[in-house]
A and B are shown apart, each in its own frame.
Chain A
Amino acid sequence: MANRTDASTAHAEGAMTVRRVAWETARFVLSELRPRGSILTPFNVITGAIILSGLVLIVIRFAYGLGSVSNLSQNYPWGIWIGFDVITGVAFAGGAYVLTFVVHILKVKKFEPIVRVTVLNGFLAYLFYAGMLLLDLGRPWNVINPVIGNAFGFGSVLFLVAWHFMLYMICEFLEFSPAVAEWLNWPRARRILEGLTTGAVIFGITLSTLHQSGLGALFLLAPSKIHPLWYSANLPVLFFVSSIFAGISMVMIESFFTQKAFKDRIGHELHAAHDSILLGLGKGAVGALFAYAFLKLIDFVHYRQWIYLGTPMGYWYLFELVGFVLLPTALFLVAIRTRNAKLVQFTAFLTAAGVILNRLNVSVIAFKWYETVRYYPSWMEIWVTLAIISMELWVFRWVISRMPVFGGAHQVVEAEAAEDMEVVVWKASVS
């Protein structure tokens, strides 16, 4: 009898403690949600306006259908929401799997300081591009169909891409989660989550290989619609390889901006190592670019693509290949030889432009190039894209300014943290 009372009291206390800890946590999160610094900065005003008006456009899109905001048609079912936001955006998120491979598998310490920010970028990119995908779906509420299994289209590349997107987001969140645990000051959770990192990284790389190439494989089904200069049975491999240098150049571009915008958040160590990291990334990019150029050459010979060179599409193809693949390769090589970090960073912008060009070519520009009435995006499609990017920047900034993202893992002193927890528990038991 007495035992039971003890047990129930202990149970009640336990429940109260849990409730108390939850309350403390909630209050902590709420306080963290409050903006820091001045609100009326030019960046905030501009992006805020874009986001608000973008939301209006999104409401219109859902109320009146895709045709009300986009220039999509029966001839061009996919526009820039797929071609730019998803097909291109996901390539740029490739930096996360490349860097986690280098740091967690190959154990190259040099790039450790930028792993977290890259994984964060990748995760947010997937989160917002997956959101973007929902905007483009005619019946987004049915998006669970291929997940819950009432209709599995196993023979579909898109089925693979959808599943891998989803699983990869979980992997990336796991990879980033130690930083969240540090922010919340949960040392035990952090230890557990850290232990999952290697597994998450390995699955992440596998999933990335498959869905990055899967995005290219989507277009294998349109052999008679994509201009012969861009159609290739190698599209999956081309997309995979280009996602490597797309991801790496995005890391460099992102560092260009964060070095300016988050000066105070970046430790001296990372600041000092910055140039050497950039040069290292440049070396990685040039390897992938080389492989890509070679694959393109194979296509050129295999598909006898030279016969199309004299046409307008041929000039456009040369512009892409010479200006945004061969030129960046050369510039990277020069920059690495002369140890010119600035040139590496500049070349990253050039490379990224090339990736945008190529992905848009495959998915939009060279797609049904023979039609007389062509698709071009409406201003509303572009506006919504800008709004989504702005939202991502806001969330990115929010995380950067609160969680330990730069300069690798912070050492949470467990004893101290344990004391903190004890205080919370003690407070809870007193009240």
Chain B
Amino acid sequence: MKLNRRLFLRVAGMAGAAGGGLLAGGGPSAQAAQLHRTSQGDVEFNGMLIDTTKCIGCRACEAACNEANKLPTPAASFSSANVFETTRDTTTGAFTVVNRFPNEKKPDEPIFVRKQCMHCDQPACASACLCKAMEKTKEAAVIYHKDRCMGCRYCMIACPFDIPKFEYDSAAPFVWKCDFCNERQQKGELPACSEVCPTGATLFGKKRDLLEIARTRIYKAPDKYVHRIYGEHEAGGTGWLYLMGAPEEKLGLRTNLGTTPYPELTSGFLYGVPLVFVLWPSLLFGLNYLIKDNKVSEERKILRGEQD
């Protein structure tokens, strides 16, 4: 009996811990209710404004990123223009890449578009990660904790921009992506790519200010830009904003992401978990007792019938 109770308590305790934990997990998602927010707590999110009309495809940002993050030397040098022949994707060794897209308005001036982590306001990868290896800092960066990661790659499934990259050829692999030069930001420095950009195509600042700058540029030169700021609302808003010289589908940017912050997609389900945890056991225990009593009374009826 003693063992019985102890074991029962242990199981119940564990189940309670899991249930309670998930209940507590509702917290961050509950904050998610405020849409289009640009800051967390008192700290306003940092952001980056990419003006595709200013980028000249010099790839200085790629080189700076490579140096700042101590990434392996790529096969083709950073001054080579041959890389623009194909559309490239970021890799475990290149956190940002510049791609070239044709410009229909001015065929001699192709449009260059950078690709890297968008640092979503409410990142899907961080909400997907079961051991908090992906984390959104209060300043903006979505960073990766190597020591926590178990390599399940759910962040890659979840990320709407397909940014986290996995080392498939390693026995002890990590996930790699741009971390917005978080350490440099902490020291008050600019992200490496922004610091090195010669044309000001990558502008670092507070997201709120950047949105204002972006809108001003559109108003001042309405013919030059598409009248939308990519990243303002995509997937609930991202830290990186794009001013586009051509519609986003012509610049290799995903168009069907919606404006719902991704953590909200699963928060409904997670809210249901504590409910089920309370309702199911009580209903099942009740049902179990109900049917047991029913059977007993049936037996009694039979017995009484025999006595009569």
Which of the candidate stretches A134-142, A292-300, A315-323, A352-360 sits at the interface with the other chain?
A: A134-142
Instruction: Using C-beta atoms within 8 Å of the partner chain, give the interface range for chain B.
Output: 35 or more
Query: Does A107 lie within 8 Å of B292, measured CB to CB?
Result: yes
CB neighbours of B14 from chain A (8 A) = 167
Closest to B287 in A: A105
Closest to A200 in B: B11
* Chain B, interface SS category: helix
Closest to B2 in A: A192
Given contacts A106-B287, A151-B148, A224-B258, contact A203 B265 (CB under 8 A): no
Determine whether A41 belongs to the interface, using a CB cutoff of 8 Å to chain B. Answer: no
Query: Does A223 lie within 8 Å of B277, measured CB to CB?
Result: no
Query: Does B265 lie within 8 Å of A205, measured CB to CB?
Result: no
Query: Does B280 lie within 8 Å of A205, measured CB to CB?
Result: yes
Which of the candidate stretches A64-72, A257-265, A266-274 sits at the interface with the other chain?
A: A64-72
Determine whether A195 belongs to the interface, using a CB cutoff of 8 Å to chain B. Answer: yes
Which of A73, A138, A223 gathers most chain B CB within 10 Å?
Answer: A138
CB neighbours of A205 from chain B (8 A) = 280, 284
Determine whether A198 belongs to the interface, using a CB cutoff of 8 Å to chain B. Answer: yes
Which of the candidate stretches B168-176, B196-204, B214-222 sits at the interface with the other chain?
A: B168-176
Query: Does B168 lie within 8 Å of A65, measured CB to CB?
Result: yes
Query: Does B128 lie within 8 Å of A156, measured CB to CB?
Result: yes
Which of the candidate stretches A46-54, A212-220, A414-422 sits at the interface with the other chain?
A: A212-220
CB neighbours of B175 from chain A (8 A) = 138
Query: Does B131 lie within 8 Å of A142, measured CB to CB?
Result: yes
Q: CA–CA, A202 to B280, complex, Å? A: 8
What does the 1/0 interface line of A56-76 toward B look like (CB < 8 Å)? 000000111111101011110
The smallest beta-carbon distance between A225 and chain B, in angstroms, is: 8
Determine whether A328 belongs to the interface, using a CB cutoff of 8 Å to chain B. Answer: no
Determine whether B205 belongs to the interface, using a CB cutoff of 8 Å to chain A. Answer: no
Query: Does B266 lie within 8 Å of A220, measured CB to CB?
Result: yes
Given contacts A138-B173, A199-B11, contact A223 B258 (CB under 8 A): yes
CB neighbours of A207 from chain B (8 A) = 15
Query: Does A202 lie within 8 Å of B281, measured CB to CB?
Result: yes
Query: Does B258 lie within 8 Å of A143, measured CB to CB?
Result: no
CB neighbours of B127 from chain A (8 A) = 155-156, 221
Q: CA–CA, A192 to B4, complex, Å? A: 7
CB neighbours of A162 from chain B (8 A) = 130
Query: Does A153 lie within 8 Å of B131, measured CB to CB?
Result: yes
Query: Does B254 lie within 8 Å of A137, measured CB to CB?
Result: no
What does the 1/0 interface line of A155-167 toward B look like (CB < 8 Å)? 1111110111001
Query: Does A65 lie within 8 Å of B171, measured CB to CB?
Result: yes
Number of A residues, CB within 8 Å of B: 72
Which of the candidate stretches B16-24, B60-68, B97-105, B181-189 sits at the interface with the other chain?
A: B16-24
Query: Does B148 lie within 8 Å of A145, measured CB to CB?
Result: yes
What does the 1/0 interface line of B151-188 toward A look like (CB < 8 Å)? 11110111010100111111111110000000000000
Query: Does B4 lie within 8 Å of A154, measured CB to CB?
Result: no
Q: CA–CA, A198 to B11, complex, Å? A: 13
Determine whether A45 belongs to the interface, using a CB cutoff of 8 Å to chain B. Answer: no
Q: CA–CA, A203 to B13, complex, Å? A: 12
Given contacts A138-B151, A154-B24, A224-B160, contact A64 B280 (CB under 8 A): no
Tell me the chain B residues, 94-129 only, with Cβ under 8 Å from chain A.
124, 126-129
Query: Does B162 lie within 8 Å of A75, measured CB to CB?
Result: yes
Closest to B11 in A: A203
How many A-B pairs fall under 8 Å by CB?
Answer: 202
Q: CA–CA, A5 to B12, complex, Å? A: 43
Query: Does B291 lie within 8 Å of A105, measured CB to CB?
Result: yes
The smallest beta-carbon distance between A26 and chain B, in angstroms, is: 23
CB neighbours of B156 from chain A (8 A) = 74, 77
The smallest beta-carbon distance between B202 and chain A, in angstroms, is: 24
CB neighbours of A74 from chain B (8 A) = 89, 91, 156, 162, 165-166
Q: CA–CA, A137 to B162, complex, Å? A: 19
Query: Does A221 lie within 8 Å of B265, measured CB to CB?
Result: yes
Determine whether A206 belongs to the interface, using a CB cutoff of 8 Å to chain B. Answer: yes
CB neighbours of B148 from chain A (8 A) = 142, 145, 150-151
Query: Does A143 lie within 8 Å of B150, measured CB to CB?
Result: yes
Determine whether A209 belongs to the interface, using a CB cutoff of 8 Å to chain B. Answer: yes
Determine whether A122 belongs to the interface, using a CB cutoff of 8 Å to chain B. Answer: no
Query: Does A155 lie within 8 Å of B291, measured CB to CB?
Result: no
Which of the candidate stretches B51-59, B70-78, B238-246, B268-276 sits at the interface with the other chain?
A: B268-276
Query: Does A66 lie within 8 Å of B8, measured CB to CB?
Result: no
Query: Does B130 lie within 8 Å of A146, measured CB to CB?
Result: yes
Query: Does B285 lie within 8 Å of A202, measured CB to CB?
Result: yes
Closest to B160 in A: A224
Query: Does A107 lie within 8 Å of B295, measured CB to CB?
Result: yes
Query: Does A65 lie within 8 Å of B18, measured CB to CB?
Result: no
Given contacts A151-B132, A202-B285, contact A68 B4 (CB under 8 A): no
Determine whether A236 belongs to the interface, using a CB cutoff of 8 Å to chain B. Answer: yes
CB neighbours of A157 from chain B (8 A) = 128, 266, 269-270
CB neighbours of B21 from chain A (8 A) = 152, 154
Q: CA–CA, A104 to B289, complex, Å? A: 11
The smallest beta-carbon distance between B192 and chain A, in angstroms, is: 23
Determine whether B29 belongs to the interface, using a CB cutoff of 8 Å to chain A. Answer: yes
Determine whether A10 belongs to the interface, using a CB cutoff of 8 Å to chain B. Answer: no
Closest to A171 in B: B11
Q: CA–CA, A235 to B171, complex, Å? A: 34
The smallest beta-carbon distance between B18 and chain A, in angstroms, is: 5
Determine whether A383 belongs to the interface, using a CB cutoff of 8 Å to chain B. Answer: no
Contact of A224 among B170, B254, B273 (CB under 8 A): B254
Query: Can you pick out 12 interface pairs between chain A and chain B where the beta carbons lie within 8 Å of each other?
Result: A74-B165, A74-B166, A105-B284, A105-B288, A107-B295, A138-B166, A146-B150, A195-B4, A203-B15, A221-B127, A224-B254, A233-B268
Interchain residue pairs A-B with the least CB separation, the first 3: A138-B151, A154-B25, A67-B168
A74-B162, A77-B157, A167-B15 known; 9 other A-B pairs, CB under 8 Å?
A63-B171, A64-B169, A70-B168, A78-B157, A138-B149, A138-B152, A156-B128, A202-B288, A210-B273
Chain A interfacial positions (CB closer than 8 Å to B): 62-68, 70, 72-75, 77-78, 101, 104-107, 136-140, 142-143, 145-146, 150-160, 162-164, 167, 170-171, 192, 195-196, 198-203, 205-207, 209-210, 213-214, 217-225, 233, 236
